[in-house]
Amino acid sequence: MKICILPGDGIGPEIMAQALRLLDALRSDGLKIETESALIGGCAVDATGSPLPEATLQIAKAADAVLLAAVGGPQYDTLPREQRPERGLLGIRKALNTFANLRPALLYEELASASSLRPEIVAGLDILIVRELTGDIYFGEPRGIAMRHGERVGVNTMIYSESEIRRIAHVAFKAAMKRARKLCSVDKMNVLEATQLWRDVVIEVGKEYPDVELSHMLVDNAAMQLVRNPKQFDVMVTGNMFGDILSDEASMLTGSIGMLPSASLDENGKGLYEPIHGSAPDIAGKGLANPLAMILSVAMMLRYSLNSEATAQRIERAVKRVLAQGYRTGDIWTPGSQRVGTKEMGDAVLAAL
């Protein structure tokens, strides 16, 4: 198996270093993998002028799976839009056709006190957000800033085709079948036609999954329900922009965005695996970042692209163990636990493994 490694910017290289140590350990246990690193995001702009160089795309396309840390930084925010690091990320998602973004929000019981909600509201929380990743207002045309009637207007287009909705709905229903068989589809059909179609198509697809209890929720209500009573949800499915927002919200229920991995899959199970957090420029280079979302992304990669469920669970158990042992990076630290840095957290995971 070939894995393309994209450390990116900010804390990216630091957390990826811990993932690479983990892969080395698994390799010496017999996992047959080869890795090849490439540039994406701001570091790629600095080196080549493009946030997604052709060479990177070739390596990513030839690989069985892609592991990505994070991109972006304030020094790139004033570049022309096509050179911004985020364009590299959106570009690789689109080029690999990884339309199905799985974002689990799982509360480790040891972290219940790190959540901003009361422990009894979040204890046992286990939600899977299925976010459509290659359509919606993120990619819709027309887009841009233009002059109209003597003033500037900003335009983006929310658009979904039936086939795009159908394929993500199938992914969500199948995921629900493997879990508690409850699917909540999130839209804004009271205002937006694009999401009326979303709801109609999800209902149609639902007829093929009579065992899944399907419900619908408007996105504003869903945002409220996530902090009111998050345990009512099993699987949630939604479009690209709503999924971006709701998954950050859901991550906080679990204590820290630094804990949550994600998988972005194409139709054949090839995937791009990345933490849902960003490049955290404020703590970059200080050895403080939480590497667990990155490490858990490796577990998701083993599960979905490398067909190694047992090894995926082994990594997840190791993470559970280090939390139980009391190791905490700053983002999940609470009084009484042991504050560690990125590398020490990596050490602890390797020891637990």
Active site residues per annotation: 138, 188, 220, 244, 248
136: contact with Mg ion by CB under 5 A: no
Nearest CB to ligand IPM, comparing residues 42 and 206 = 42
110 interface partner picked from Mg ion, ligand IPM, none, CB below 5 to 8 A per type: none
Q: Is 244 in the site for ligand IPM (CB under 6 A)?
A: yes
Q: Which of 31, 33, 48, 86 binds ligand IPM (CB under 6 A)?
A: 86
Nearer CB in complex with ligand IPM: 206/278: 278
Among 83-91, 106-114, 145-153, 162-170, which window interacts with ligand IPM (CB under 6 A)? 83-91
Nearer to Mg ion, 9 or 244 (CB): 244
What's the CA dihedral at 71, 249, 145, 165 to 10 degrees? 100
Interaction partner, residue 89 (ligand IPM, Mg ion, none; CB < 5-8 Å by kind):
ligand IPM
Q: For residues 109 and 248, which CB has a smaller minimum distance to Mg ion in the complex? A: 248
List, in sequence order, every residue forming a beta bridge with 237; answer none if it has no partner: 130, 185
From the list ligand IPM, Mg ion, none, which binds 9 (C-beta under 5 to 8 Å, kind-based)?
Answer: none
If the CB atoms of residues 90 and 127 are measured against ligand IPM, the closer one turns out to be: 90
Site string for ligand IPM, 248-287 (x = CB under 6 A): ----------------------------x-x---------
Residue 136 contact, options ligand IPM, Mg ion, none, Cβ 5-8 Å cut-off depending on partner type: none
- C-alpha–C-alpha distance, residues 122 and 119, integer Å: 5
User: Who's near 126: CB < 8 A, 6+ residues apart?
Assistant: 104, 105, 106, 107, 234
Locate all alpha helices (DSSP H) within 159-254, ordered by sequence. Answer: 162-177, 193-206, 219-228, 240-253
Kindly identify the residues of this chain, within the stretch 235-264, that bind Mg ion according to CB under 5 A.
244
Across the strands, what pairs with 236?
129, 184
Question: Which residue among 5, 40, 89, 114 contacts ligand IPM (CB under 6 A)?
Answer: 89
Mark residue 10 as left, alpha or beta (left: phi above 0; alpha: psi -120 to 50; beta: remaining). left
- Using the rule CB under 6 A, is 347 a contact of ligand IPM? no
Among the residue ranges 85-93, 116-124, 181-189, 314-322, the one whose residues contact ligand IPM (CB under 6 A): 85-93
Torsion angle of C-alpha atoms 19, 283, 84, 256, degrees rounded to 10:
70
Q: Which residues contact 329 (CB under 8 A, 6 or more apart)?
A: 258, 288, 289, 290, 291, 292, 339, 340, 341, 342, 345
Structure tokens at 223: 């945002």
CB atoms within 10 A of CB 34: 10
Residues that bind Mg ion (CB under 5 A): 244
